[in-house]
Amino acid sequence: MGKAKKTRKFGEVKRMINPKDMRLKQNQQKAAEKKDAEKSAEVRHVERESSNMFFKYNTALGPPYHVIIDTNFINFALQNKLELVRAMMDCLYAKCIPVVTDCVLAELEKLGPKYRMALRVARDPRFERLPCSHKGTYADDCIVERVMQHRCYIVATCDRDLKRRIRKVPGVPIMFIVNHKLSIERLPDAYGAPKTTHSGSGGGGGK
């Protein structure tokens, strides 16, 4: 019995891992790398504010206004029998230049013959054309990236998701359709905005 007990204890000691074992060092290295990765994930990238957003007032906005048009905005304008250039001027009391990106035109072309009138409106020679260098034809991401880089645009859309994303970008007004006419929100905070739109835009914020 005594020999058996001694043998059992000897086997238990042999099964223990040496503290200098390489496998333990590898585990320690993995744990250290994991901690470093967690620390780097905690550091948030703070985006620099645009230079024209002094005191949160967008000094880059002013007549003539450049209005980026979304795909569904053209469709809703046709449904409400609105002539876009005239309706924009009635809303802002200033010259307006509608802007159409390549991806918006591509979306309208993909929608087929049902939206041929909207495509004809988007190809109006009075509209300014913005070329796109990104892949795909998803217009929402393109519009958000453009207004984040250049705060000189008004975004015309009736899409709730796009409105929600644009509201997170300071200094970018949103144009939308309400009661068969165009309205605007967040423009009174902009430089050179018509003061008469303050009462109109407050009630029709579309929030």
Residue 1 clears pLDDT 70, i.e. is over it? no
In tens, the pLDDT along 71-94 reads 889 999 999 999 999 999 998 888
Query: Within a domain: residue 46?
Result: no
* Residue 147 maps to a domain: yes
**CATH number of the domain encompassing residue 186:** 3.40.50.1010
Q: Where in the sequence is the domain holding 185, given as residue range(s)?
A: 62-202
Mean pLDDT of all residues in 179-183: 88
Position with higher pLDDT, 62 vs 165? 165
Q: Is residue 70, in this structure, part of any structural domain at all?
A: yes
Cα 42 to chain center, whole Å?
23
Residue bearing the bigger pLDDT, 192 or 123: 123
- Which run of H or E residues covers position 42? helix 22-42
Residue 35 lies in a domain: no
Q: With the C-alpha atoms ordered 47, 162, 81, 104, is the resulting torsion angle positive or negative?
A: positive
Residue 36 falls inside a structural domain: no
Do 101 and 139 meet the contact criterion of CB atoms below 8 Å apart?
yes
- Tell me whether residue 154 is in a domain: yes
Q: What is the pTM of this model?
A: 0.64
Instruction: Flag whether 89 is in a domain.
Output: yes
If one counts the domains in the chain, the total is 1
